[in-house]
Amino acid sequence: MTIYNLGSINIDHIYRLDHLPRAGETLASRNYGLGLGGKGANQSVAAARAGSRTVHLGAMSQGDDWVIERLRGAGVDTSGIARMAEVPTGHAIILVDEDGENSIILHGGANHAIERSQLDRTLSTITSDDILLMQNETALQYEAARRAHEAGAKVIYSAAPFRSRRSRR
């Protein structure tokens, strides 16, 4: 059994602050961290560390090689990740106050630029013994689910982040 994960890849920029900024306020951070993030990348790492063969299907810039190295280091098959010349890797700006409250700014970047040909190529080997896992942070979810369903694979849809019509303003 293989888990094919159509999932986001983000670079998280984490800033520790005394409090979250108010409108018009500029704050100096107490600490800064950089890490691998994105619901999809996190789920691929977790599945691989739990012992599942995991193929990540996603996209990122041609730079940021440390992201691929980190995924491979966790045991994730990265052959389904497209490297894009003109599109940045998705990223998140995460502000965390001293009480642990946070605010996040997310830029989807390459997560929204996944191409149909890449999806078809990676999912060409999916079978009825496999699983397709997806989240709400990438393009081509419907197409991937249809392809997996046609192959008889199980489809798991992790509806996060959830966006109602009201929250898309």
Using one digit for the tens of pLDDT, what is the confidence trace for 37-67? 999 999 999 999 999 999 999 999 999 999 9
Confidence of residue 159 (pLDDT cuts 50, 70, 90): confident
Confidence of residue 169 (pLDDT cuts 50, 70, 90): very low
pLDDT at 164: 60
Q: Which residues of 28-66 are buried (b: 16+ CB within 10 A; e: fewer)?
A: eeeeeeeebbbbbbbbbbebbeeebebbbbbbbbeebee
Domain that holds residue 57: 2-168
pLDDT, tens digit, for every residue of 79-123? 999 999 999 999 999 999 999 999 999 999 999 999 999 999 999
User: Given a cut of 90, is residue 163 above it in pLDDT?
Assistant: no
Q: What is the CATH number of the domain that holds 161?
A: 3.40.1190.20
- The number of domains in the chain is 1
